[in-house]
Amino acid sequence: MRRNSPISLLAVGHACVDLYQGAVAALVPFFVAERAYGYAAASGLVLAASLLSSVAQPLFGALTDRWAMPWLLPTGTLLGGAGIALSGLSGSYGLTLVFVAVSGIGVAAYHPEAARVARLAARGSHSAMSRFSLGGNIGFALAPLVVSFAIGQGSLRWTPVLVLPALAGAALCVPVLRMLARSRAGTSGASAPRGADDVASFVKLSLAVVFRSVVFTGLSTFVALHAQQRTEGGTTAGTVALFLLFLGGAVGSLLGGFLADRHGRVRVSRWSYLLSAAAVAGVVYAPGPAMFLFVALTSAGLYVPFSLQVTLGQDYLPSRMGTASGVTLGLTVSIGGLIAPLLGHLADSTTLRTALTPLIAMPVLSWLLFRTLPDPTPPEAPTPLQEPGDSAPAGPPTPASSTRKAPS
């Protein structure tokens, strides 16, 4: 428990932060009902949160490469919660948009530095990193339930209640940051050599993440409607399909870390993407209820490489780990959302199944890119975070902890 508590605290804190990514979409029906927002206005809120957050993450990553900013963990958490908490208090669409954007910036500020600290806490374990990623998945999936519980029986004036997860998440950051400070204090000031950046491999990895984002975003947007058409089960069938899509992601995140510790990140990701292509084909073409099985398999397959890609990006760019985290966690993920309207237009022009068919090729493209990638060995094991009473870590400091400037 002492060994695992830092990554466990970070995973729960990650859940608290990513809850606010899902909360924006969960609030849309309430904005439409109480303020008569149209589809364009409602989608503008979602776009302001998701796109701004995704684009800003690499910028925050670049900053954390230059200066150590562990304080971004509690600060980003509080900003994410404060923006959502204030979004329901003003009748002005402009102010609502600003508050939602503030929440997106808070989420963006949190992730690159959190990924770096989680890598330290994981002590080289891919299973531990998968638990950190799982926390975010759970938070996102719980957002509709939390929003419904907080304001479902009232009105938007109850949105301040939604700041409570942020307060809890920020409090959980405090012991982790204390452990980080003790780890730094226990290391010498000598600089450890960094590994060489492999920019070509990082670009290929980023493209693979883009293709993964396209297929997952496309399915999450249209799988409920597709399930209704294929099974004639009405809205219940659509709800079940979405639930399986999220549940499979939780299973895949844990499975990915377990397998990578034994077989290597690149090899596991290759097989996962190849199997995902077959599973997506089953989602699109399997008859009747059989499609539900393929939805679960697709989700698990697409989430197996999720946390592995974050650490791969960090190892391909060891001198810019924050930037790598920001790109793999943010920018490349958002591109899938830009493709969804094109799929919708194609579905309007043909059929939904025809529009979903190109998604089968996306995991294949990711698989082809992973076939060209090496499985890097980190230059040095990360300096572990120290629990109270633990002795200082022995050996030279790592690049992630010793070559960065101290925060001002």
Let me know whether 35 and 142 are in one domain.
yes
The owner of tokens 């199944």 is: 353
Cα angle 43-306-294, degrees, rounded to a multiple of 5: 80
Let me know whether 40 and 91 are in one domain.
yes
| pLDDT score recorded for residue 266 | 96
- Quote the pTM value: 0.75
277-301 as b/e: b if 16+ CB within 10 A: bebbbbbbebeeeebbebbbbbbbb
Residue 193: inside a domain, yes or no?
no
| pLDDT score recorded for residue 378 | 60
For 123: left if phi > 0, alpha if psi spans -120 to 50, otherwise beta; the answer is left
Cα angle 168-169-174, degrees, rounded to a multiple of 5: 95
The torsion defined by the Cα of 193, 199, 201 and 207, in degrees rounded to 10, comes to 140
Residue 350: inside a domain, yes or no?
yes
10 Å CB burial of residue 408 (0-12, 13-18, 19+) is: exposed
CATH code (residue 145): 1.20.1250.20
Let me know whether 23 and 161 are in one domain.
yes
Residue 404: inside a domain, yes or no?
no
**Gap between the Cα atoms of 263 and 243, Å rounded:** 30
Domain boundary among 131, 154, 185: 185
The domain in which residue 245 lies consists of 199-370
| Number of structural domains the chain divides into | 2
Residue 382: inside a domain, yes or no?
no
Let me know whether 161 and 250 are in one domain.
no
Let me know whether 170 and 229 are in one domain.
no
Let me know whether 161 and 281 are in one domain.
no
Residue 395: inside a domain, yes or no?
no
Let me know whether 152 and 282 are in one domain.
no
Tens-digit pLDDT string for the chain (408 aa): 355 588 889 999 999 998 998 888 788 778 888 888 776 677 778 777 777 777 888 888 888 888 878 899 999 999 999 999 999 898 889 999 999 999 989 998 998 888 888 888 888 788 888 889 889 888 888 888 888 888 877 788 899 999 999 999 999 998 988 887 777 665 544 344 456 889 999 999 999 999 998 898 888 878 888 888 888 777 788 878 878 887 788 889 889 989 998 999 999 999 999 999 999 999 999 988 999 999 999 999 999 998 899 899 989 998 888 888 888 877 766 677 678 778 888 888 889 899 999 999 999 999 999 999 998 866 554 555 655 445 444 444 444 433 343 333
| pLDDT score recorded for residue 195 | 66
Six-digit token string for 259: 């397998």
The owner of tokens 């698989």 is: 367
- Please spell the DSSP secondary structure of 14-57, one letter per residue: HHHHHHHHHHHHHHHHHHHHHH---HHHHHHHHHHHHHHHHHHH
Residue 226: inside a domain, yes or no?
yes
Let me know whether 208 and 318 are in one domain.
yes
Residue 172: inside a domain, yes or no?
yes
Residue 221: inside a domain, yes or no?
yes
Give the three-class secondary structure for 99: helix
Let me know whether 39 and 172 are in one domain.
yes
**Gap between the Cα atoms of 288 and 295, Å rounded:** 12
Let me know whether 204 and 133 are in one domain.
no
Let me know whether 130 and 268 are in one domain.
no
